[in-house]
A = this chain, B = another copy of it.
Amino acid sequence: MGQGVHMQELPGIGKRYDIDLGSATQRVSVVVRRGDIRDLYVFTSKGDEPTAVLELSREQALKLGAVLTGTFFEG
């Protein structure tokens, strides 16, 4: 599963994961900050400016992740 994901250490901040979507314009990045806050950056146009940025708590990131991976069940 490593293919298509590029991880970069951000000293003092955490780790940044870039997920390749096989598109010149569409890209998504997640910054996992120390303290477990996860920032989701969505790029839908060329350039370095994200189209949308969301700050997710660990719990919110787990919920979104579960929906995306198909492991979410109504509790």
Nearest-Cβ distance from residue A1 to partner chain B, whole angstroms: 5
Given contacts A64-B30, A75-B1, contact A54 B42 (CB under 8 A): yes
Contact yes or no, B1 A70, CB < 8 A: no
Contact yes or no, B1 A66, CB < 8 A: yes
Given the complex, which residues of B lie within 8 Å of A19, measured CB to CB?
60, 63-64, 67
* Distance of A66 Cα from B59 Cα, bound (Å): 14
Contact yes or no, B52 A42, CB < 8 A: yes
Nearest-Cβ distance from residue A20 to partner chain B, whole angstroms: 8
**Interface residue ranges, A against B (CB under 8 Å):** 1-5, 7, 17, 19, 21-22, 26, 28, 30, 32, 38, 40, 42, 44, 51-56, 59-75
